[in-house]
Structure 1
């Protein structure tokens, strides 16, 4: 658990781990970039270095 230091029961085993958190962040970056550039963005492209920040800070 990120905050509080106390582990909560997860009987359905649905608690997200660090991998799911990283995926969530990448999806958010792709969504924001897609909206800003008005075009589809591939998450794989972000991972392969196709300009995560291009356009946002130019």
Structure 2
């Protein structure tokens, strides 16, 4: 059985910054997904804000 995660994120992390592409289900149309790409800095505050953003989007990692 294949597992499909409705909310997921792809991360690209470098020394300078981190980029995240988050996929979430569309609230109006079933089976349609929305993607959003954001860029975050590498400071401690930026990393913590990035974490908060992923939690707010309900992206899970388990």
TM-score (norm 1): 0.30
Report which structure shows greater RCO (CA 8 Å, sep ≥6). Answer: 2
More strand by share: 2
Query: Quick check: which one's helix share is greater?
Result: 1
Mark the structure with the bigger radius of gyration: 1
